[in-house]
Amino acid sequence: MPDMSYIVFRQNDGGLQFVEMPSSHAYQLSALNLRLHKELTKLTADNVPDLPKAVAECQGLELLDESMSPVSGLAYINELERAFAGIREQSYPLVSLLTEIRALQAQLEQWYEEEELH
């Protein structure tokens, strides 16, 4: 079993979301989330996505509420990429944010491919 970490996100409605990440990449997702939050205020588009805020990172996760389950890091980053790729931004260089998202996306795709080989 690979070494996994969990990023806990607080959604704008107060709910929690748990994203399962390879431990080697968990910090990158936390840092990316903080950077995206910092830059969101600079966007002028009318379709900026609601972005949950990373509030914790942990090594183990035992969910006691059976209705909740962690989301795969790759699924999360794929959704994040789709959301940011759809922003109709004219004045902010959105490409730099998309580049950061896609770089982590590529790393995760490679990580999951390598795990399937083992």
Q: pLDDT tens digits for 63-99?
A: 999 999 999 999 999 999 999 999 988 777 788 899 9
**Whose CA is closest to 8, among 45, 78, 62?**
62
Please count the structural domains in the chain. 1
Judge whether 50 and 33 are in contact, CB under 8 Å. Answer: no
Which tens digits make up the pLDDT trace of 15-68? 999 999 999 999 999 999 999 999 988 888 888 889 999 999 999 999 999 999
Domain that holds residue 102: 4-117
